């Protein structure tokens, strides 16, 4: 009984950690608009970047990755004493990923899971994680589409694992995460095909700007000068 119960409890804990939507939490803390209200509506680092606040986007990326990485790492480090092996670690990673997609603390309105999936893969197999991350970086650098880079990296991850390592429980989780990532990116795929997908760094309308950006003048004009008679009249020469 305990052999079945502990992996299930560990997976539930992974799901609860994954349900922490850091895009929303960090945006609220920094006084930004809810990322679900602008751009793609996705509570993730790429959409937070569209607010113009790079710091918020980086923090979102890091914490979204950590919530996938840390639970899996804890199982890998301490699970053996409780009889929890690689299969449980993969299950916990899947739980964290599902928590990001359908977070119980945020009305099940989650993100697409790219950063969390990356954290899970890094913890399950660090070399595979770096290879997958390198795939994303290369695609993002050359094409400037986060969605295209994510889809490519997600598709290659299971093949990397099968070709270089083995067909253990990690492969099943990688395939399931890849399929869910494709499903969550269906709208992005349509936009890519239509040529309307936003590129990395594109600022979305409706987002609160980062600190230090220009603000409107109280009268509605940027940098407006005070009202008043400010026309310059050349002085008349004597004798003219």
- From the list 72, 69, 66, 59, the residue with the least C-alpha distance to 25 is 59
Domain-embedded: residue 237? no
Domain-embedded: residue 205? no
Tokens matching residue 216: 């409107």
Angle at Cα 132 formed by Cα 17 and Cα 43, nearest 5°? 40
Q: Which domain holds residue 101?
A: 2-194
Q: Please, are residues 32 and 50 in contact by the beta-carbon 8 Å criterion?
A: no
The pLDDT of residue 36? 87
Print pLDDT tens along the chain (240 aa). 667 799 999 999 999 999 999 999 999 999 888 898 888 788 988 889 888 889 999 999 999 999 999 999 999 999 999 889 999 999 999 999 999 999 999 999 899 999 999 999 999 999 999 999 999 999 999 998 988 999 999 999 999 999 988 888 899 999 999 999 999 999 989 999 999 888 876 665 556 554 444 444 444 444 444 444 444 445 444 444
- Angstrom CA distances, 130 to 33, 136, 172, stand at 32, 10, 19
Domain-embedded: residue 219? no
**Would you give the DSSP letter of residue 31?**
T
Domain-embedded: residue 216? no
Domain-embedded: residue 222? no
Domain-embedded: residue 233? no
**3-state percent breakdown (helix, strand, coil) of the chain, nearest 5:** 65, 0, 35
Cα–Cα distance for residue pair 83/186, rounded to 1 Å: 39
Backbone φ, ψ for residue 181 (5° rounding): -65, -40
The pLDDT of residue 146? 86
- Angstrom CA distances, 114 to 75, 152, 224, stand at 21, 11, 43
């Amino acid at each position: 009984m305990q052999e079945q119960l502990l992996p299930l409890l560990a997976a539930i804990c992974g799901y609860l950690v994954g349900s922490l939507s850091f895009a929303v939490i960090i945006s609220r803390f920094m006084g930004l608009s809810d990322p679900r209200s602008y751009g793609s509506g996705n509570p993730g680092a790429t959409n937070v970047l569209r607010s113009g606040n790079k710091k918020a986007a980086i923090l979102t990326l890091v914490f979204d990755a950590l919530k996938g990485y840390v639970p899996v790492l804890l199982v890998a480090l301490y699970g053996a004493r409780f009889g929890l092996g690689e299969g449980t670690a993969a299950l916990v990673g899947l739980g964290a990923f599902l928590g990001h997609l359908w977070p119980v603390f945020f009305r099940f309105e989650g993100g697409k899971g790219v950063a969390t999936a990356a954290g899970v893969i890094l913890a399950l197999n660090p070399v595979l994680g770096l290879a997958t991350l390198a795939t994303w970086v290369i695609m993002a650098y050359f094409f400037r589409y986060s969605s295209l880079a994510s889809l490519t990296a997600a598709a290659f991850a299971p093949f990397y694992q099968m070709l270089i390592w083995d067909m253990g429980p990690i492969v099943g989780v990688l395939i399931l995460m890849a399929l869910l990532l494709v499903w969550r990116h269906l709208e992005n795929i349509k936009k890519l095909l239509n040529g309307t997908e936003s590129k990395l760094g594109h600022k979305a309308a409706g987002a609160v700007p980062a600190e230090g950006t220009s603000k409107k003048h109280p009268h509605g004009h940027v940098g407006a000068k005070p009202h008043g008679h400010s026309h310059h009249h050349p002085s008349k020469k004597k004798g003219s």
